[in-house]
A and B are shown apart, each in its own frame.
Chain A
């Protein structure tokens, strides 16, 4: 089992916490993990990405080869497309639909979503709105982890354990909220795939 995931977003959106949940879960299962991050210049509103590889065998490269990614998970729609060409043919492009507009030439959002829909395997969900419905815009990330969860090669209840591990220090109510967000993401993603 080996899953190669490219996580993308805008600096400050928290791709590293998404990576942390998935990596912690994989490690708990005794898997190998490599996670390459961008630090430095990109911390303020610039595009950021992280290569996350999990496998039951040792992993050689820190970078995912272009053309071989199993999943590109975008916390923002343009950012999802920025690395979509790393996907293998039947890879999954999973994107939050809420644009982060901090550039003057942001294209019409319908056009962006239309490009995402051209990928045979794609899922689009409005994680920001769903997060607000759950009571905290901070859990948009975890909703996206839920959305990607069927494709990670990890068991759902192991991801729940991963969430407990990462958020445990912050108290039971935070854990509960994030577990709910995870569940919501999974439901939305399953629904999307069904009606597509």
Chain B
């Protein structure tokens, strides 16, 4: 055993490497990105040639991982919570097909929306799809759960959802790791040749005779799981159910152990008997969970005939939204922490900004100049660094909804007669989910202008390689956009006038145009130059 200081994300990655995985798939997204980044740096992964290249989006990643599982090998697919919306079709149906090699879907939720559009709780997806789920409360569990999760997935031939949250994913803690990795699986076809063929009669069979039929056994696994525990306490006036990182906040406030009985939850479906035992013994139950009131709602269902109060996010004991912290938990268990100082009003907000010299800045300056004569409210943007233009001084964009929505919202608005209609999307977001929408616009030659900001990187999430690099015009041409209306510009100050001219022409053109401002992300550029210098010095 060696001990490493790992982020929760890195613990998942190392856990995968050590438990005989053959492939990681995923699309970057905070706070999940560091899982695959760790694997990409890992000498072990390189030596074993574990698959670790980014996918174009979460759906392609999920399906590729399912393909690896079909072939008998173990795979992990990683994404942020909203990525699971994109992968949902594949995910939900993978529970119906079931798996062959072990399959773990590692999803990182972002309660409090530190860097996300919402704080959706992925555990609902697991319940929706009837898959088993694991939720670590610390970095060690994040590591251990991968091995355990693969075993469970292979035992029940079902995909497993591993739910992380920001404070586990992005916090470092000591992790004891195994000295030796378990061997990978050999390629081996599924025993049942039609297992993965979801024609209605087969799907119905899989659903009823496999997925639903295994549910009682999955609950039984939860009852005896090493990650679910009944911890007795002398004071029965209250019982506590705590899951994931909430367990840590509870322990922080009870360093000598908790006075109340506690059920710690790390594995789902919920262990009914363990919870029933707690419920019967105490006067009230407090639920501490990061995210939505997922356990709380189920407890209300389980024990709906009892008058005993169940406290948590639904009754206001815990704030309805946002992430937990040690102070919220302290208050909920009646141990409020004394706070001496208050926040200082001299402190001003410091929002993130474009890096100096970023091409997005000069693109928006030109776009704003051109759009001035048309008035506000016509620029549909997307998700990435370029979304920062929603803030002052640019105030340049009017929407940011989900990856790819710029293209299709601009189309819908143009269809409605809001002209001109302009879409702004990054190169990686374009390949993630913009291509299909552009094909819709091509078919109708919609009167809109799409700007694809090509900085040859996934800038927002740390400059990963973009699948679009070197092929944006080819993709656009291949979809059928008129080559006369595909224009490329260089977003730098000295090209301002050229940009204004090109943008004006294409926005005035009453059909579909695509303009590609192209300039490498400053951050990846700096990194590249540093690496080149290093390589030279090494020679």
Contacts and interface: CB of A to CB of B under 8 A. Distances in A.
B428 interface: no
B41 to A, nearest CB: 15
A99 to B, nearest CB: 11
Interface in A25-42: 27, 32-42
A84 interface: yes
Contacts of B342: 85
Contacts of B252: 60-61, 65
Contacts of B195: none
Contact of B327 (A45, A66, A112): A66
Contact of B351 (A46, A84, A107): A46
Given A66-B337, A67-B327, A11 B170 contact: no
B115 A78 contact: no
B347 A44 contact: no
Contacts of A51: 171
A81 B5 contact: no
B318 to A, nearest CB: 15
A111 B388 CA distance: 30
Contacts of B245: 62
Interface in B314-372: 325-327, 330, 337-344, 346-355
B185 to A, nearest CB: 33
Interface string A96-119: 000000110111000110010001
B167 interface: yes
Contact of A36 (B171, B354, B462, B523): B171
Nearest to A78: B347
A39 B350 contact: no
Interface string B457-484: 0001110000000000000000000000
B31 interface: yes
Given A34-B171, A65-B326, A107-B346, A46 B338 contact: no
A163 B330 CA distance: 37
Contact of B338 (A27, A63, A67): A67
Contacts of B307: none
Interface centre among A38, A60, A64, A112 (most CB of B within 10 A): A60
B511 interface: no
B150 interface: no
A42 B385 CA distance: 11
Nearest to A31: B174
Interface of B is mostly: loop
A10 interface: yes
B350 A61 contact: no
Interface string B305-316: 000000000000
Given A61-B249, A67-B338, A88-B340, A112 B5 contact: no
A158 interface: no
Nearest to A11: B352
A132 interface: no
A27 B340 contact: no
B172 A102 contact: no
Contacts of A112: 346
B344 A102 contact: no
A102 B350 contact: yes
A87 B340 contact: yes
B200 interface: no
A40 B346 contact: no
A41 B327 contact: no
B255 interface: yes
Given A62-B167, A67-B337, A44 B327 contact: no
B5 A44 contact: no
Given A60-B252, A78-B347, A36 B170 contact: yes
B508 interface: no
Contact of A106 (B30, B340, B348, B523): B348
A111 B114 contact: no
A46 B353 contact: yes
B391 to A, nearest CB: 11
Nearest to A63: B325
Interface in B161-203: 167-168, 170-174
A67 to B, nearest CB: 4
Contact of A62 (B173, B385, B462): B173
A78 B353 contact: no
Given A46-B352, A61-B326, A85 B172 contact: no
A27 B327 CA distance: 27
Contact of A37 (B171, B174, B346, B349): B171
B177 to A, nearest CB: 15
15 contacts: A34-B171, A35-B173, A36-B171, A39-B31, A40-B114, A42-B115, A43-B462, A44-B353, A62-B171, A63-B249, A64-B326, A78-B348, A84-B344, A85-B343, A107-B348
Interface of B: 5, 7, 30-31, 33-34, 114-115, 167-168, 170-174, 245, 248-249, 251-252, 255, 325-327, 330, 337-344, 346-355, 385, 388, 460-462, 523
Given A44-B385, A67-B338, 16 more contacts: A34-B172, A38-B114, A39-B31, A40-B30, A40-B462, A41-B352, A42-B352, A47-B350, A61-B248, A61-B249, A65-B252, A65-B327, A78-B350, A82-B344, A85-B342, A88-B340
Interface of A: 10-11, 23, 27, 32-47, 51, 59-68, 78-79, 81-82, 84-85, 87-89, 102-103, 105-107, 111-112, 115, 119
